[in-house]
Chains A and B, each alone.
Chain A
């Protein structure tokens, strides 16, 4: 059962989402996302799909299962899904409540997702469960900062943005580790706030 509050928040934001994010952030982050997503291979689980703004950065010909908690976001993503040169199967689904069997995917990819998942460590544990042993987790995320004054700014911003959408101060790298992944690489894209994270599910 999807978290109704989170779902309603993103449903409400969906019609304005492209205007808010695409022209600025997506153009700026595009080259970094392209580089990260170029490593996508095998059977991929992607979240959160949103309005599909990440789709143009996907390598061609992949078999991707994409999730988002918001049905309105997925409605807006249909046009981009249709033009993707590969297969994207989009589902309205809460990461906390995925019906996939254990060890289902070769790779899990997230893009600005764990700023919004209500219980991030639990969500990451759910991803750990569905990832095959040895499978990779690739993340493009914004996080809190360890450094003043940036840490203070992210905390202040979060008081405002939490009501509208994402948190700005999540310790996502620590959360990934807490969920049982082994982190293999962290690349700071902007300060220590925007980053790519690579991790693996260690074989049992």
Chain B
């Protein structure tokens, strides 16, 4: 993964902002009387879609896969966590923003860790783990 500071900061900000937006959407869409499982799966799907929309917004600056994968992951994770939380407890718009932003930050850290684990070189027939 890119260690150039502009990309590190850009990726992080994009994911935090997307998480906040999806968190707010969860608060707007999901009602307190909803079944939490339905809310979770619906918001995961909407969150992934919002990640895709976010990708088209930032791709020009942050690149292709390096932007798309984290943003879709952030959308999915935020939809899952906040979508499930809204029916379970009293939830405000500000909480939606903060929880969503937190999910974006966590998603980005998970991507960095996953990338550190998967990155590197395999040689001469050791590549069976690659797609």
Residue numbers of A with Cβ under 8 A of B are 19-21, 23-25, 27-29, 142-147, 149-151, 153, 156-157, 160, 170-174, 183-195
Which applies to chain A's interface (DSSP): helix, strand, loop or mixed? mixed
**Chain B nearest Cβ from A164, distance in angstroms:** 11
How many contacts A-B (CB < 8 Å)? 109
Chain B residues near A157 (CB-CB < 8 A): 52, 68, 72
Residue B69 contacts which of A160, A172, A193 (CB distance < 8 angstroms)? A193
Are A25 and B118 touching (Cβ within 8 A)? no
Write the chain B residue with the least CB distance to A23.
Answer: B60
Jot down 13 A-B pairs with beta carbons below 8 A, ordered by A.
A24-B60, A25-B63, A27-B63, A29-B63, A150-B114, A153-B73, A173-B127, A186-B121, A188-B121, A190-B66, A190-B69, A191-B118, A193-B65
Residue B130 contacts which of A28, A156, A184, A192 (CB distance < 8 angstroms)? A192
Are B2 and A28 touching (Cβ within 8 A)? yes
Distance, CA A146 to CA B64, complexed state (A): 19
Residue B63 contacts which of A24, A144, A173, A174 (CB distance < 8 angstroms)? A24
Are B125 and A183 touching (Cβ within 8 A)? yes
**Chain B nearest Cβ from A51, distance in angstroms:** 15
Residue B64 contacts which of A142, A156, A170, A171 (CB distance < 8 angstroms)? A142
Chain A residues near B125 (CB-CB < 8 A): 183
Are A173 and B130 touching (Cβ within 8 A)? yes
Given contacts A171-B131, A187-B121, contact A24 B67 (CB under 8 A): yes
**Chain A nearest Cβ from B17, distance in angstroms:** 17
Number of interface residues of B (CB under 8 A): 35
Chain A residues near B72 (CB-CB < 8 A): 153, 156-157
Q: Which of B26-76 contact A (CB under 8 A)?
A: 48, 52, 58-69, 72-73, 76
- Interface readout for B89-126 with A: 1 if CB under 8 Å, 0 if not? 00000000000000000000001001100111111110
Distance, CA A185 to CA B120, complexed state (A): 10
Are A25 and B48 touching (Cβ within 8 A)? no
Write the chain A residue with the least CB distance to B114.
Answer: A191
Q: Which 3 A-B pairs have the closest CB atoms?
A: A28-B63, A25-B64, A173-B130
Distance, CA A185 to CA B60, complexed state (A): 30
B9 interfacial by beta-carbon distance below 8 Å: no
Given contacts A25-B59, A153-B72, A153-B73, contact A194 B121 (CB under 8 A): no
Chain A residues near B130 (CB-CB < 8 A): 143, 146, 173-174, 186, 188, 192, 195
